[in-house]
Amino acid sequence: MKNKLFYGLFTLLLSYLFISCASLPGNKDSGKVTYAYKTVEITENQNYLSTNIKYPEFEKLPDLNKRISNTVNSNWKNFKSYSKSEWDEIVALNNRGSAKLPSFEYLVTYEVTGNKDIISVLLNTYIFSGGAHGNTNLVTFTYDTKTGKFINILDATSMSYNEISSVTRNTLYKKLIDNNKKMAPAEEDSLREMINTGAFPQAGNFELFTVDGNKVFAWFEPYSVAPYSYGIQKIQVK
């Protein structure tokens, strides 16, 4: 009982939340305006999981705030539950071998962009659950402040999925293949196939996008259009 009480108090002391103020920079002439928001930060260190989460909270935009907060906290709680259930096995492996496996990590950062009517939020979640490296997951929210509705990439660009796909694939070909003169033919074929699949003209491939001024960007996680070593891809589509 004392151990459980100590552990609870220890966790509480290591869990804290910061709120700091910031804003989306710009002015009406540049196609951007200022949206005041706070940065919510959650930090928690336990023996099985190290957590650092940051996400924005906007003034007078409850629908956007609710969507962001629910997404962040739901995903974190699910991974936290998974980490705790897996930790006993990790401890057993550590006890049997000379190598000591580290605890899991859950890190969330964000970017805020937009224009005079639109706010875009990109959440970047890095998860380490063992292995050679962690995984990166992206989530975006694009919100029309005039209508009070979330929009998709078709709304933001007035383009079709075929048009968006064509621009995206051509840009990725040039960026990842044409500019790499030392790439072997087999590697080029494999990469071209990944690009064609990941940027195929369908809604699911273009859910990740942001608006910045009068520009619209499509985002792709590692493995979606290229191997992990190529990192996150950000492609301007309009």
> Could you report the per-residue pLDDT of 47-58, keeping only the tens digit for each?
889 999 999 999
94-101: list long-range contacts, CB under 8 Å, 24+ apart.
101/130
| Percent of the chain at pLDDT exceeding 90 | 67
Displacement of CA 87 from its chain's centroid (Å)? 25
**pTM, rounded to two decimals:** 0.84
Helix (H) or strand (E) holding 135: strand 135-144
User: Of the given ranges (4-8, 126-130, 192-196), which has the lowest mean pLDDT?
Assistant: 4-8
Q: What angle do CA 160, 163, 169 make, to 5 degrees?
A: 135
For the chain, the straight-line distance linking the first and the last C-alpha, in angstroms and rounded, comes to 60
Q: Is 175 helix (H, G, I), strand (E, B) or coil?
A: helix
Rounded average pLDDT over 69-85: 94
57, 21 Cβ separation under 8 angstroms = no
Q: Look at residue 102 in the predicted model and tell me its pLDDT.
A: 72
Name the phi and psi angles at 150, rounded to 5.
Answer: -80, 140
> Higher confidence at residue 89 or residue 192?
192
pLDDT at 91 over 80: no
Give me the pLDDT at residue 180, please.
81
Instruction: Indicate whether 65 pLDDT > 60.
Output: yes
Domain boundaries, the chain: 2-151, 154-236
- Is the pLDDT at 93 greater than 90? The verdict is no
Check: CB of residue 187 under 8 Å from CB of residue 176.
Answer: no
> 222 and 208 in contact (C-beta within 8 Å)?
no
Structure tokens at 12: 């509480």
- The dotted CATH code for 2-151 is 3.30.565.40
Cβ partners under 8 Å of residue 81, min gap 6: none
The whole-number average pLDDT for the span 155-169 is 98
Q: Name the more confident of 137 and 23.
A: 137
Query: Is the pLDDT confidence value at 7 over 90?
Result: no
Tokens of 175: 């960026």
| Alpha helices in 15-152, H assignment, sequence order | 62-96
What is the pLDDT at residue 81? Answer: 92
User: Cβ(118)–Cβ(213) under 8 Å?
Assistant: no
Residue 105's CB: how many other CB atoms inside 10 A? 16
